[in-house]
Structures are given as C-alpha cells and as structure tokens.
Amino acid sequence: DSLAKSFAGLARNAERNKASIAVSKEPLEEPPLKIHTLGNRALRKTARRISKVDESIRELAKDMLRSMYSAKGIGLAAPQVGVEKQILVIDLDLENPTNPPLILINPEIVSASTSLEKYEEGCLSIPEVYMDIIRPSTVKISFRDEMGRPKKMNADGLMGRCIQHEIDHLNGVLFVDRVSNHEELDLALKEHGFLSKDVHSI
C-alpha cells in the first residue's frame, strides 16, 4: 500500500514537473503581459533574487512565455514586462510545439570563456534593431529551475548568447549598451523610432 502510494506520488510529481510550464506556443491576440520598449524606465531596474519558487512564480513564467511566443521571441526577462524579479524564459525552438522552454531563476554566470564571439543580437524591447555584439563564446551558469531545484549548465552558441543577453536584462543592461559603433547604432535606432539618449553605453 505504501509502495503504491509512493508510486502514485512519483507519477504525480512527474506529471507536475512536465506540466508545470507547458503553455501553447501559438501567438495570442492579447498576450497577458506588455513588453516594454527602449526608453521605458522598467528596463533599467535591477531585478531582485527570488527567495521562494512557488506557484506564483510558475504562473509568472507561463505568462512570460505566452507573451514571448506571441511576440515571436526566443528569450524574455522579467524586467521587460515590468517585474523586478530574477527570472528568464528561453525557447530556441519556436517551431516545435513539444520542445520544452527553459526557465532560469536567479541565474548567475559562474565563469565565462576567454574566447569571444561576434553574433547578431536583437531584443523584443528594441524591435527590428539588430546589431553585432561581442561576448564570451561559452558561459557556465548556475540557476534554479521552475521547481526550485539548483542546476548548473554550460551554454555556447545561440543558447550561450541568449542567456548572456537575458542576464544583462536582470541588471538593467540592454544589448545596445554594448555596441561600440555608435554611428551605426544611432542610424538603426532612428530608423525604428528609438532615441540614442536612451542607450547607456558601457
């Protein structure tokens, strides 16, 4: 009996783990959260650590995913939707409805490779502006998953790039702050209705 109970418990846990963050990747006409754009002060706030990963955090992750999928983005950080919490959602495979997204809570870069890489970045908060950014090609990160479990991960390529871009958001940093060719940046911003004064070059 107790064995059957523990099996039932395991099955329930497995079901919960699997279902905890499953949302449809179909774009919604009215996404639950508004994504702020360059010039909005929300993007410059520093996010706070999440002390307890509970149902409300998982609901936030789901709403962030719904908004990200609706905007056809591959990554979204909570400050972009005006929430000052250290949580990111990432999904590099928008075409595959069963590929699970990645939820990173309190992510930290533990180490970064000395080798650097140039990669073209864009951002849901600066739509249609794409610029080459140089960053470490590989990072090792620690984080908690959507069930609060501590995890470590090595990321390179597009995943490594996306994680570094999103972690920047948690510190109020935008990819345009990292552009060194200001002339090119100013042109691209102007073309899409953004102001160069909203860039905080680092």
The contact set with Zn ion (CB under 5 A) reads: 123
Asked if residues 107 and 151 have their Cβ atoms less than 8 Å apart, the reply is no
Cβ distance to Zn ion smaller for residue 47 or 123: 123
- Residue 131 Cβ, how far from Zn ion at the closest point, in Å? 12
Cβ distance to Zn ion smaller for residue 105 or 126: 126
What is the number of the residue whose Cβ is closest to Zn ion? 123
The catalytically annotated residue of 26, 166, 183, 191 is 166
Asked if residues 142 and 108 have their Cβ atoms less than 8 Å apart, the reply is yes
Q: Does 95 qualify as catalytic in the annotation?
A: no
Q: Which of 176, 181, 104 is nearest to 139 (CA)?
A: 104
Cβ distance to Zn ion smaller for residue 51 or 159: 159
Query: CA torsion, points 131, 134, 140, 144, in degrees to nearest 10?
Result: -30
Distance in angstroms (rounded) separating the CA atoms of residues 150 and 86: 14
- Residue 35 Cβ, how far from Zn ion at the closest point, in Å? 9
- Residue 125 Cβ, how far from Zn ion at the closest point, in Å? 5
Distance in angstroms (rounded) separating the CA atoms of residues 101 and 113: 25
What positions carry a catalytic annotation? 166
